[in-house]
Amino acid sequence: MLIHDMKPITDSDILQFVGLKTLEPMEQELVQRISTENFEKIRRMLKNITKVKVQIKTYEKQGKRKKYSIHLQARAPGGPLDVDRAQDFDLARAIHKGFADLKGLIEHRMHLEGLKGMKK
């Protein structure tokens, strides 16, 4: 393969969605919009991020409400970061919870890695 035949890596290659097709079109757009906004923030936090996977599952219990479960996985050279505790009946709230947990996990890991080199 020649170098000029290779396509550049885009955000859509780095940000992947699983389970998106099971959602309604308006829900799909909501997931993509919120995920893209939060992805930019995570990219600034993890400067060498390789991939973020957003997995959406829906659960229909008795009644008319759907429950959404969000699993996020960020891949970086320092290792994978997983968040799978975000669940809610409101899709937007579930996504925001998941990304807030992921940001907290990144900050926690960055803080611990920053302290490793310090002497007591």
* Percentage above 90 pLDDT, the chain: 48
Exposure letters 1-31 (e unless 16+ CB within 10 A, then b) = eeeeeeeeeeeeebbebebeeebeeebeeeb
pTM: 0.79
Whether the per-residue pLDDT at 57 is higher than 80: the answer is yes
Report pLDDT for 118.
45
User: Mean pLDDT over residues 75-84, rounded?
Assistant: 85
Report pLDDT for 120.
43
Tell me the CA distances in angstroms from 77 to 56, 73, 81, 99, 102, one per residue in order: 25, 13, 11, 19, 16
CB 65 within 8 A of CB 89: yes
Confidence band for 85, pLDDT divided at 50, 70 and 90: confident
Question: How high is the mean pLDDT of the chain?
Answer: 82
* Percentage above 70 pLDDT, the chain: 81
Whether the per-residue pLDDT at 64 is higher than 60: the answer is yes
Whether the per-residue pLDDT at 35 is higher than 90: the answer is yes
Residue ranges and CATH numbers for the domains of the chain are 3-113 (3.30.160.100)
